[in-house]
């Protein structure tokens, strides 16, 4: 490949890669210098550096850097309860017991022998909403949602293997990390589309997402998709665990909403968004929409602060319980305005405004299951700012 005439320009070296070292050619013309050779692992361009934004308990996905709906595995959001355990897959075991005919333990190799299935869907943290100032990115506002192509075994297959009692109405999922996270899950979800997944975006699941295996409950709030899954127990009642009493429970006016499984329909425009700049003329407004209740059927975009709405194009194929990319072509005349999007799902649910959420749930609503319409202010100078709304 790199024949005679090139050889003279290349330094004599020992490594087979290092022979591509670039010498004596100005940097400004890439056609005049041999580039880097083949490698075992690729890297990003030095001109691109998408990064999660970590806090003490989470890290947020850089949604504004994404052009479609698969989240690169190293940028998947994290929500921590006691950090990421380092689990040896050869030591891994999953116990299934309770209201079953045959309590069993499965190794990772056992799980991989069952018929496998692939499902592309989002996982979103139940507490995925921040507001407060204009200088906020999509990552800051709702970066606790990500999407992967998950592969594993249907939980219904495992239920059949152990002889799950049809009178069992709940099951407990327990994680093998230091928080020993536990959640009660309705048994019907286990029979429907729940999975035990060991792969993410084609390869082995990443440690931060539950290596070597996690529970996947498509559309349900993130914390229930228990990572580092080590135990499932079937029962005829919920457990009232620490995580479902001290957390993931919130006031709705004078009542407490305890089990709120499905994530409501939601959308956000990721381009343009803070801190991007726009120019007068054609702008393709782009973003993601999703719902825990099935498919997105429509996304509407307003470019006049909500006075009128236009139907956005949805990227096909639209998948069940999945981030769905939407696009709307807009000609900006250079005036101040606001752009916003709202998602509509196959149940007919329409993404609400923050005002509607507060009216329905009261001001002391906690931070869970907040899915308000997100507005961006477009300024005459082309700058884009989040529009933080008054909570009270």
Closest distance to a copy of itself from the beta carbon of 385 (Å): 21
Closest distance to a copy of itself from the beta carbon of 117 (Å): 8
What is the per-residue burial (b if ≥16 Cβ within 10 Å, else e) of 125-142? bbbbbbbeeeebbbbbbb
Q: C-alpha angle 234/240/242, rounded to 5°?
A: 115
Minimum CB distance to a copy of itself smaller for 140 or for 264: 140
Minimum CB distance to a copy of itself smaller for 36 or for 360: 36
Edge-first strand order for the sheet with 78-79 is 53-54, 58-60, 78-79
Minimum CB distance to a copy of itself smaller for 313 or for 387: 313
Minimum CB distance to a copy of itself smaller for 139 or for 291: 139
Closest distance to a copy of itself from the beta carbon of 149 (Å): 5
Minimum CB distance to a copy of itself smaller for 24 or for 348: 24
Closest distance to a copy of itself from the beta carbon of 170 (Å): 23
- Token duo for residue 388: 């933080």
Minimum CB distance to a copy of itself smaller for 167 or for 280: 280
Burial class (CB in 10 A: 0-12, 13-18, 19+), 56: exposed
Residue carrying structure tokens 């407990």: 172
- Strands 296-302 and 337-345 turn out to be antiparallel
- Strands 93-98 and 229-235 turn out to be parallel
Q: List the one residue out of 48, 80, 79, 78 whose CA is nearest residue 64.
A: 48
Closest distance to a copy of itself from the beta carbon of 242 (Å): 12
The set of residues, in sequence order, having a beta carbon less than 8 Å from that of 255 and lying 6+ positions away, is none
Closest distance to a copy of itself from the beta carbon of 323 (Å): 10
């Amino acid at each position: 490949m790199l024949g005679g005439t090139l050889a003279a320009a290349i330094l004599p070296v020992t490594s087979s890669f290092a022979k591509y070292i670039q010498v004596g050619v100005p940097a400004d013309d890439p056609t005049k210098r041999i580039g880097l050779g083949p490698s075992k692992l690729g890297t990003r361009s030095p001109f691109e550096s998408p990064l999660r934004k970590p806090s003490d308990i989470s890290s947020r996905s850089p949604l504004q850097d994404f052009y479609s709906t698969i989240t690169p595995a190293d940028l998947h959001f994290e929500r921590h309860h006691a950090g990421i355990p380092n689990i040896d897959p050869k030591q891994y075991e999953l116990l299934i017991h309770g209201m079953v005919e045959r309590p069993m333990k499965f190794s990772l190799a056992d799980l991989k022998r069952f018929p496998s299935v692939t499902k592309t869907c989002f996982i979103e943290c139940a507490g995925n909403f921040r507001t407060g100032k204009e200088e906020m990115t999509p990552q800051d506002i709702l970066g606790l949602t990500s999407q992967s192509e998950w592969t594993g075994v249907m939980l219904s297959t495992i239920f059949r293997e152990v002889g799950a009692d049809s009178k069992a109405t709940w099951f407990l999922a327990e994680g093998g990390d230091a928080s020993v996270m536990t959640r009660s899950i309705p048994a019907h979800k286990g029979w429907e589309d729940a999975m035990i997944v060991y792969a993410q975006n084609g390869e082995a699941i990443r440690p931060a997402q539950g290596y070597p295996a996690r529970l996947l409950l498509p559309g349900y709030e993130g914390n229930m998709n228990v990572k580092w899954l080590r135990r499932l127990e079937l029962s005829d009642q919920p457990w009232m665990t620490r995580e479902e009493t001290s957390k993931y429970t919130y006031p709705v006016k004078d009542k407490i909403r305890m089990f709120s499984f499905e994530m409501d329909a939601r959308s956000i425009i990721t381009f343009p968004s803070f801190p991007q700049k726009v120019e007068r003329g054609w702008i393709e407004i782009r973003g993601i929409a999703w719902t825990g209740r099935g498919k997105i059927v429509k996304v509407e975009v307003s470019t006049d602060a909500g006075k009128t709405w236009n139907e956005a194009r949805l990227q096909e194929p639209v998948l069940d319980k999945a981030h769905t990319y939407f696009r709307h072509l807009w000609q900006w005349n250079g005036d101040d305005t606001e752009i916003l999007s709202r998602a509509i799902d196959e149940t007919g649910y329409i993404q609400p405004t923050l005002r509607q959420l507060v009216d329905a749930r009261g001001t002391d609503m906690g931070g869970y299951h907040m899915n308000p319409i997100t507005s961006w202010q477009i300024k005459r100078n082309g700058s884009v700012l989040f529009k933080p709304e008054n909570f009270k």
